[in-house]
């Protein structure tokens, strides 16, 4: 992995892998973050890739603006790990040498 990828937060890492995050409300003050690609939910083994977590104060509706040490932050971390399992991050290619016949 490169330094640029390491300096991003979890939401930006998910976006750099080519995925998005969809937020849905669930019962009993819970939220669900779904992993999306091109506007459609990503399916793995026929099930959508999701993370369900408690949201008692309702401040995690926007995944890009989650607060530090909140349940939404940890849910994004879990969703990022699932996204990396589906599509691992690719390192940036090294620049080619200007000298012929050298890697």
pLDDT tens per residue, range 68-87: 888 999 999 999 999 999 98
96 in any annotated domain: no
Mean pLDDT of the chain, nearest integer: 87
- Which structural domain range is residue 54 located in? 3-86
80 in any annotated domain: yes
75 in any annotated domain: yes
- Cα–chain center distance at 28: 25
Residue 36's pLDDT is 95
Q: How confident is the model at residue 32 (pLDDT cuts 50, 70, 90)?
A: very high
101 in any annotated domain: no
Residue 3's pLDDT is 67
Mean pLDDT of 37-56: 93
78 in any annotated domain: yes
Residue 1's pLDDT is 57
Mean pLDDT of 48-52: 96
91 in any annotated domain: no
71 in any annotated domain: yes
Residue 2's pLDDT is 63
What's the total number of domains in the chain? Answer: 1
15 in any annotated domain: yes
CA nearest 33: which of 1, 60, 3?
60
3-state DSSP assignment of residue 23: strand
């Amino acid at each position: 992995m490169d330094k640029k990828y390491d300096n991003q937060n979890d939401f930006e890492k998910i976006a750099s892998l080519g995925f998005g995050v969809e937020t849905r409300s669930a019962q009993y003050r819970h939220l669900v973050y779904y992993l999306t690609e091109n506007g459609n939910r990503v399916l793995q083994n026929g099930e959508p890739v999701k993370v369900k977590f408690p949201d008692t104060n309702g401040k995690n509706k926007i995944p890009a603006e989650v607060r530090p040490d909140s349940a939404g932050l940890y849910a994004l971390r879990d969703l990022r790990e699932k996204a990396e399992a589906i599509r691992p991050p690719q390192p940036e290619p090294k620049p080619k040498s200007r000298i012929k016949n050298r890697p």
